Each structure stands twice: as C-alpha cells, then as structure tokens.
Chain A
C-alpha cells in the first residue's frame, strides 16, 4: 500500500474510533429531536440547546498530559539519566575484581556450578577465563576499578555499586525489556514512561522523556524498551539523534515558512476548539496542546541538541566529536537536557556483546575499546553534573541487561580464537550516583570466581523500586489501571535497596 493510502486508511479508522456509540446516540437525539422540536421550541433560549460540557471537572492533566504532578512523597531527585550498555558488558573486567579467578584461569569450570544452568552459547564444560584487566582500589572508599576505565577512578567516591544484581533472562531482547519495563515480554511501559506519567516534565518546550542512541545500533529489544506500553503514548520516549535532524521531521518542509506553519496550526486548533465545544472531549484539548508544543519544540530541540556552542574545555572533557553519533556526544546532551528540565534521559550504547567470536567482540580487544569509549564521557558526565550542582538533584544509573560468565565461551563446544564471555544473569554489576545515593558504597558480593551472589543479591525489580523511591514514589502504590487490574512497574516484587541510599 502506498503511504498516502495508508494515511487515508488510518484517518478513516481514527474517525471510526472517535465515533463512539455515545456520539451516535447523542447525534440521533440532537438530529431527530431537533427536527421534531426545532419549530416548537424556536422561542426558547438557544444557549440551553447546545450541549454543555458535563461530567468531571477538567484537570490540568487533561489539557496537558506532561504537566508536572507532585510525587506522593518528598523526592531526592528531579531527573534521571540512565546509561544502558546494550549487549551487556563484562563486570569481571570492569568492577568485580576476582583474583581467585585469575589463579583458576584455563581450568575447567566445576561441574556443580553448571548443573541446571542454561547458557546462550556455552556447551559442555567450559574453561574458566581469568580477568583480563588489572584492578586497583581507588578513592577514599577503596572500591575496585580496572585499568580498562582509567578516568573513572576520579569519580569512584561518587558512585554506589550494586555488585550482585541478578536477572532471570539470558538473551538480550527479553533481558533488556525486563531491565526497562519490568517484564521480559512486550507490552509494558518503560521506566522512563512510568516516571514521566507520574511526574510530568517541567520544560514545556521539550519532551519529558528523551532517548539517545550510540554504538551504531538500536538495542536488540527494539524501540519497545522506551515504549509507553499501556500508558498513553504521549509518555513514550522521544528518540533524538546527534546526527542529522535531532528529531525526525522536525524541520519545516521545503516551501513551508515558519509563518505558514504558525497559521496552519492556528487554523487546526481553531477547528479543534469548535470540536471541543461540540463534544467536550478533553482529548481534543490535549491535542491542541500537542500541536502548540510541537511548534515550540521545532525551535527549542535543535537548539538544545546543538553541542557546538559548548565551551571547548567541556567538549574536550567529554571527548565529543560534533556531528557524529557517539556516546560522548550523548553524555553531554544528557547533561544539557536535565539542565533544561527534561525528566528522564535514556542513553543506549550498543556493542557490548563480547562473545569473542572476532576481534571486535574479544574481551581484551574490542571490549577494551568500548570501555575506552565510555570511560571519559561517563566520568565527565558525573563531574560536569557535580560542578553545576545538578548531581544533587539527578540520579545517574549505569548497567547492562545482564553480566557475563567467568568462563571462556566455547561456542558449539569448540575452542574459540578470541577471549570471550557468554551471557550470564546470576550476578552482575550496576552503579548509581547522584541525589540520595551514598557515594562510595558497594553492596553485594559474589563468590570467588564471580559466578553468583554470596551477599546482597538484588533483583531488577529491586533496582526499579529504588529508582522510584528516590523519585518520591512508593513502588507498591504507583499503579495504572489496565484491562481490569492495576499494574505496577515492579509487578508483585521489588524491595528498596536501602544499603546504597544516603
């Protein structure tokens, strides 16, 4: 079907959707009644014949779905920046130091560990793979960090580590969905959608939930990881690009001037206002607002997405390359966005799936390059937020969708040419920094080879509960009614991780 036909079809369907039974009956009543009684009551006050908007009083939210709502409890933070390493980085080369694993390098993995376990690619009995990086304790906290992240040690006392996060998913798509929507299946709203739904967003010229992508690919789970699920679609993430137009179709088409655009929107809104007078449907008011916001966004989004205006020393600190798509650019953009009142900024960096099938996915080669590419930007992001006073009101979350095995991958039972690790969800590292977080904390320990948790095992739901807690929500009370029951981001699970809170 060609695009125009598609659009026409969609328009017809939308019209049919809008025409509910109530409208039909109402129009019948007005039409037939009008025919019959029009002449009889001609002398009556006409105003009373026009249906008046009835029912509940309109709230601010009806008019503007992104208007700010207070959280149920006092919150420690205003915004969230979530750095997701799509593909799942190896905790064993970054933060979870396992000297014993080094000693056992090359030895077969104890069979007791493998019993009842499922791996994506490992078959039979794999060999253990010692950490390929060198670790050092840094900062006052003495937390471990590897030489793959030489800059990050500068901010080690700002972050709180969760070293024993676990997930029950071992494939990227479902695990990413789980990490961002609370369930490995499609259809639920993402964390950012929940937050913008619950709190709205302060800046009325920018979207409340912005998604930035680097690494050359979308996350495996696709755009659903920033989808709004059953929440109104206004709360889904808006993907902004650092290359080309920041938002698709944000430029006025050729031959359409700004003035013309303004007049168009005014005309559409005038018609919509008439519609509202007829049906009193608050959706129409929301739509009027959306047109106006889109018009304002055309100016403010390209402005905020332009990192060229940042001073040189800031650009250098992040290591940005203007005009290209990179994690560094996105980190700088993330700071600019939260500085301007955006509620939730979600970054995805692709390319962390270090199986060791080729140099680019080898733990000591490609993975090391990936570490280098994020080390400077994420360190710079924390420092930059800190010096502007934004870190006290922002939460920065870092993590992948799962971790990686302490064993060398042996795809199809064969020895592989490069060092690689398979998917592993039993225990992996995440970190958080910012408002309400106890900097320098480290919660959770893994066994001596880093296979599973010994203490402080936390689930993905626990992480969600903690993020919502910092934003002022009780994750057990924060619900949305859908298909006859209230839904929660944390479903029936989740406990706040008090150990990393200040």
Chain B
C-alpha cells in the first residue's frame, strides 16, 4: 500500500502533461478543427491519469502521516481538477449527458482547467519543497512587495544597568540561533532533522546525534562546528551564509560550559563584561545631540555653495550639519547672517582661519544645537563669549592661535556641557588663567609641547 502511495510523485506528472497538451492543441486547433479526436483523447487520458494521481495521493497522505491541514488544499484542488477534466472531456466530445457546459466554449473551459492544474501542482510542490521555495531566491525587496515576510536579523543589545539579570538563553543564545542557524534548522525545513529554534530540538539533536553535551565543548557540535575552518565541509553555518562573530561564538562556548541552561541569567552563568563588550549599545550619536531639525532645502545648499560655505550632513540619516569655511578665508561676521536660516541644523561650525571678530558670538548664540565650535586662527578675544552660555550642547571650543584675553575665561564657568577648550598659541602661558575657572568639567589644552633633545637623539648606531 505504501509503495502504491509513493508512486504519487511520478503519476502526478501524467495529468499535467495530458492536460497541458490538450489545452495547447485546443488553442492551435480553435479555427480549423482538424484534431478534435486527438484533443478528446488527451482530456480523456488526462482525467484518467488525474484520477490515478488522486488515488495514489490519498494513499500517500494516509500512509506517510501527513497532517490533513498541510495537504488539504492540494487534496481538494486535485479532486476538483480531476472532475473538471472529465467535464471538459465530455464537453469536447459533445456528450449529451452533460448539458450544463454546453454554452461554455471549450477554449475558455480548458484555460480554467489549466489554471486548476497549475494551482494543484503548486500546492503539491509547496508540501514537498516548502512554501517559500519559489519566493526564496527572489531579491528581498521584491519579496516584501509580494507581501512575504522576509528574514530579519535580531539585534542583540545589552544594557549597562541590568545585563546581569537577563536570561542567557533568551537574551543572547536564541537571537543568535535565529540570526545564523534558524533559516535551515527550523521546524519546517529541519535540515539533518535538527531543529534549533526550540528548546526541545536543541536538546534532542539531529540525525547525527546530540548537538550539545553540557560542559563538553569538543563533543558539542553546536560549538565544535562553528570553530572548524570555513573551508571544512562540516563547518557551520555553511560557507556563503552569514557567519557569527568571534564574540558570538564565545557566547555559545560559555553557554555550553555553564551547562546550557535555559533559565540561568548572564550573571549566574559567570559571564564577564569584557566578553560581552560588543553587545552593549554603542552611542550611535558620537556625542552629537539627539534632535531632529527641519530638513535642508537643496536650493539653500546650492546658495551656500556659491558663497563658498561648505555644508555637509553629519550622517546620511541626520539633518545636523557641519559648516566650514575651509576655502573661504575672507569670511566675515556679516557673511554669517544667511546661516541663521539653518540655525537649527548646525552642530559643527569651523570658522578657523577666517576674518571673524568678537561680534560673531551674538550670532553663534542663536545656534541651539552647536556642539563643536572652532574659532582658531581668528582675531577673537572672547569679549562677548558669555553669550554662548545658553548653548546646551557646546562641548568643544577651539581658540587656538587667537588673541584670547585671560580674564574672559571666567565666562566659561556657566557653560553647560563644555568639556574641552583649546588655548594653544594664545596669550596664555602654561596653566595661567585657571584661577578664573571654577567649572571642573572643563579641561584646557594649553599645548606648547616640546620634545627637548636627549643624548640618544644624536647617537648613530
């Protein structure tokens, strides 16, 4: 009986052949009507072979333990196709029994039949090859437009505060398996009979036995195969698939060593922060404020470009910009006014080497997101520096090679986020002016480094 059922994958191709042949003949012969008998024969055998395929299919389904829900679409469409094929045959031979199709044209009927057999075949293929067999090789963007859910990598991120309380398996191992293993070792595909997306599957192993032996790395293929050379046949994930990082492989290692518990927390498993350093969320802002200023218009950018003001966005997904006058040494205070139109956007402003004076500070005070300000090699003395104290984000102030006056340093005390002030090559001597400074967050770079000569400088060996 089981043998009979296993003939199904062979027999299904017969009705497909006969029916497609019949449909094509019917189409070519629609005017001259020279092959009517052959067409009838094609549909007759189509119907007979479809019946055979249906019978074997049913046996196959009963014998091999498929669930009804997985085969039902294929089963019903298969039966409909068989019956419909018979009806088309009867219509073609103009049998008087069947009156209900008399009005329909054979060509139209045959096209419906063709669609039916295609759909049936597709459902059948989905059972054996997986529902996404056809879709899988298409580009991701096309898959999304077609409405298929595509694979999305799970991002593994730890928090400084509570990382030790997180469950090792849930927070790190499972997402990692999802990212690197799940596309083959899932319940549907289960390559090598191994399912890694579920706890039971991980413990059960696959057709080559267990994948984990607690505390034994060498006998745990889940780790051992990861560290084989990429060229090795048994290396996992297979070459060409995305590969886990060294830090991620170390996670699997630590998990197995700590007894591959599904409940232990990271702290209980004894993980050190140094091993997890790559998983902590890095500051993606690189120290710039988290704000969303209005987008820049291309026209205004074009205008600035013409006046040799360089403007570029800090990153492709931010509207914060860096403004510099690198090719514009003649830039003066009054040239700044147009830039107030994009005041919200300016995070880095490099006015180094330009002709600006102290009256620029009043204008700079209107740049709420200014983070880095460079006024090196200009004539500013810092006379109106206090106007910048409202700037919430100003972090770095470069006054290198300016005639900055020492007593103006006191203005910095009320600055909110200021960390570094560069005063090299200004009237300051080493450490002078510190008496004006009470804000301990600010460090001053006086520069004036030198490398005094030492005897070994002139020894030639």
Q: Within B27-49, which residues are at the interface with A (CB < 8 Å)?
A: none
In the complex, A366 Cα to B460 Cα: how many Å?
9
Taken together as a complex, chains A and B put the C-alpha atoms of A366 and B461 apart, in Å, by 7
- CB-based contact B422/A388 at 8 Å: yes
- Contact status A386-B420, CB under 8 Å: no
Q: How many residues of A contact B (CB 8 A)?
A: 47
Return the chain B residue nearest A456 by Cβ: B246
Closest to B458 in A: A372
7 tightest Cβ-Cβ pairs between the two chains A and B? A387-B447, A70-B313, A74-B286, A383-B449, A389-B422, A387-B424, A68-B312
Does A123 interact with chain B (Cβ within 8 Å)?
no
Chain B 442-461: CB-based contact to A (< 8 A → 1; otherwise 0):
00011111110010110111
**B324, CB-defined interface residue at 8 Å:** yes
- Check A341 for interface membership: any CB of B closer than 8 A: yes
A397, B73: Cα distance in complex, Å: 63
Name the prevailing secondary structure of the B interface residues: loop
B326, A340: Cβ atoms closer than 8 Å: yes
Enumerate chain A residues within 8 angstroms of B313, measured Cβ to Cβ. Answer: 70
Bound Cα distance from A386 to B444, whole angstroms: 11
CB distance from A200 to the nearest CB of B (A): 8
A341 B288 Cβ-Cβ under 8 A? no
Which of B111-119, B143-151, B314-322 is the contact stretch?
Answer: B314-322
Q: Which residues of B contact A70 (CB under 8 A)?
A: 312-316, 318
Q: How far is the CA of A341 from the CA of B247 in the complex (A)?
A: 36
Structural contact, B451 and A376, CB atoms closer than 8 A: yes
B416 within 8 A of A: no
Report A-chain residues with C-beta under 8 Å of the C-beta of B461.
Answer: 364-366, 368-369
Interface size on B, residues (CB 8 A): 45
Taking a contact as CB atoms under 8 Å apart, the answer to whether A376 and B315 are in contact is: no
Which of A35-43, A167-175, A239-247, A493-501 lies at the binding interface?
A493-501
Further pairs besides A74-B286, A317-B450, A498-B282: 16, Cβ < 8 Å: A69-B312, A70-B314, A70-B315, A71-B315, A74-B288, A75-B286, A75-B315, A340-B326, A341-B324, A368-B461, A379-B451, A387-B424, A387-B449, A388-B376, A388-B424, A389-B400
Any chain B CB within 8 A of the CB of A124? no
CA–CA, A78 to B420, complex, Å?
18
Q: In whole angstroms, what is the CA distance A316 to B400 when docked? A: 20
Minimum distance in angstroms from B419 CB to a CB of chain A: 10
CB distance from A328 to the nearest CB of B (A): 11
Contact among B284, B327, B400, B451 with A317 in the assembled complex (CB-CB below 8 Å): B451
Contact B398 A389 (CB under 8 A): yes
Contacts of B422 in A (CB 8 A): 387-389
Compute how far the CA of A386 lies from the CA of B422 in the bound complex, rounded to whole angstroms: 9
A294 to chain B, nearest CB (A): 15
Residues 299-320 of chain A, each 1 if its beta carbon lies under 8 Å from chain B, else 0: 0000000000000010011010
Is B334 in contact with chain A by the CB < 8 A criterion?
no
Please give the distance in Å from A462's CB to the nearest CB on chain B.
9
A498 near B278 with CB under 8 A, answer yes
User: Does the CB pair B286–A387 fall under 8 Å?
Assistant: no
Interface string of B218-236 (1 = CB under 8 A from A): 0000000000000000000
Q: Is B312 a contact of A150 with CB atoms below 8 Å?
A: no
Q: Bound state CA distance, A317 and B318, in angstroms?
A: 40
**With A and B bound together, what is the CA distance between A384 and B450 in angstroms?**
9
Closest Cβ–Cβ distance, residue A110 to chain B (whole Å): 24
Determine if A151 is an interface residue (Cβ-Cβ < 8 Å).
yes
Contact of A205 among B327, B376, B420, B457 (CB under 8 A): B327
Which residues in window 242-297 of B have CB below 8 A to A?
243, 245-247, 274, 277-278, 282, 284-286, 288
In the assembly, what is the distance between CA of A68 and CA of B376, in Å? 23
Interface SS of chain A: helix, strand, loop or mixed? loop
Q: How far is A368 from B460 in the complex, measured between Cα atoms in Å?
A: 8
Chain A positions within 8 Å of B363 at CB level: none
- Proximity bits, A369-408, B CB within 8 Å = 1, else 0: 1001000100110011011110010000000000000000
Mask, A350-376, CB within 8 Å of B = 1, is 000000000000001110110010001
- Residues on B with C-beta less than 8 A from A384 are 449
Q: What are 17 A-B interface contacts by the 8 Å CB criterion?
A: A69-B312, A73-B284, A202-B310, A202-B324, A317-B450, A317-B451, A365-B461, A369-B461, A372-B459, A379-B451, A387-B446, A387-B449, A388-B398, A389-B374, A492-B243, A496-B278, A498-B278
Cα–Cα, bound, A389→B313 (Å): 21
A204 within 8 A of B: yes
Indicate the member of A74, A316, A498 with the most B CB atoms within 10 Å: A74
CB distance from A70 to the nearest CB of B (A): 4
**Contact yes or no, A372 B456, CB < 8 A:** yes
CB-based contact A472/B449 at 8 Å: no
CB of B197 closer than 8 Å to a CB of A:
no
Among B113-168, those with CB < 8 Å from A are none
B396 within 8 A of A: yes
Q: In the complex, which residue of chain A has the Cβ closest to the Cβ of B320? A: A74
- Chain B's nearest CB lies how many Å from the CB of A191? 20
Task: Point out the residues of chain A lying under 8 angstroms from B246, CB to CB.
Answer: 495
Q: Is the CB of B396 within 8 A of A386?
A: no
State whether A386 touches B445 (Cβ < 8 A): yes
Question: When chains A and B are docked, how far (Å) is the Cα of A472 from the Cα of B286?
Answer: 9
Q: Of residues 412 to 456 in B, which have CB atoms within 8 Å of A's CB atoms?
A: 420, 422, 424-425, 445-451, 454, 456
Tell whether, in the assembled complex, residue B310 and residue A73 are in contact, meaning their CB atoms are under 8 Å apart.
no
Shortest Cβ gap from B237 to chain A (Å): 12
User: Is A472 within 8 A of B315, CB to CB?
Assistant: yes
Please indicate the chain B residues that have their CB under 8 angstroms from the CB of A75 in the complex: 286, 314-315
Does A298 interact with chain B (Cβ within 8 Å)? no
Expressed in whole angstroms, the Cα–Cα distance for A316 and B274 within the complex equals 42
CB neighbours (8 Å) of B446 from chain A are 387
Contacts of A341 in B (CB 8 A): 324, 326
Point out the residues of chain B lying under 8 angstroms from A74, CB to CB. 284-286, 288, 314-315, 318
- Indicate if the CB atoms of B277 and A498 lie closer than 8 Å: yes
- CB of A141, distance to nearest CB on chain B (Å): 16
Query: Chain A residues with Cβ under 8 A from B396's Cβ?
Result: 389, 392
Which of A73, A147, A204, A379 contacts B327 (CB under 8 A)?
A204
CA distance A313 to B422 in the complex (A): 19
Chain B CB within 10 Å, residue with most, of A73, A316, A384, A496: A73
- Determine the distance from Cα of A388 to Cα of B446 in the docked complex, in whole angstroms: 9
Name which residue of chain B comes closest to A340, CB basis.
B326
Q: Which residue of B lies closest to A365 (CB)?
A: B461
Considering the complex, which residues of chain A in the window 474-502 have a beta carbon less than 8 Å from any beta carbon of chain B?
492, 495-496, 498-499, 501
Please measure, in the bound complex, the distance between the C-alpha atom of A150 and the C-alpha atom of B452, giving whole angstroms.
Answer: 11
B324-339 contact mask (Cβ, 8 Å, vs A): 1 or 0 = 1011000000000000
In the complex, the answer to whether A388 meets B245 with C-beta atoms within 8 Å is no
B286 to chain A: which residues have CB within 8 Å?
A: 73-76, 436, 472
For residue A269, CB closer than 8 A to chain B, the reply is no
CB proximity of B421 to chain A, nearest CB, Å: 9
Q: How far is the CA of A462 from the CA of B278 in the complex (A)?
A: 13
| Separation of A68 and B313 alpha carbons in the complex (Å) | 9
Closest chain B residue to A152, Cβ basis: B451
Which residues from chain B contact A366 at a C-beta distance below 8 Å? 461
Q: Are A369 and B424 in contact (CB under 8 A)?
A: no
Question: Is the C-beta of A203 less than 8 angstroms from some C-beta in chain B?
Answer: yes
**Shortest distance in angstroms between B424's beta carbon and chain A's nearest beta carbon?**
4
How far does the alpha carbon of A472 sit from the alpha carbon of B284 in the complex, in Å? 9
In the assembled complex, which residues on chain B have CB atoms less than 8 Å from the CB atom of A313?
A: 450
Q: A74-B286, A313-B450, A380-B451 are in contact. Are A389 and B315 (CB under 8 A)?
A: no
Shortest distance from the beta carbon of B151 to any chain A beta carbon, whole Å: 16
Q: Which residues of B contact A51 (CB under 8 A)?
A: none
Q: Which residue on A lies nearest to B400, using beta carbons?
A: A388
- Smallest beta-carbon distance A135→chain B, Å: 15
**Is A386 in contact with B326, judged by CB distance below 8 angstroms?**
no
Does A72 belong to the interface (CB within 8 Å)? yes
Residue A154 is within 8 A (CB to CB) of chain B in the complex: yes
The answer to whether A389 and B445 touch across the interface, beta carbons within 8 angstroms, is: yes
Q: Is the CB of B450 within 8 A of A150?
A: no
Q: Identify the closest chain A residue to B327 (Cβ).
A: A204
Minimum CB–CB distance from A163 to chain B (whole Å) comes to: 16
CB distance from B156 to the nearest CB of A (A): 13
Residues in A whose Cβ lies below 8 Å from that of B326? 202-203, 340-341
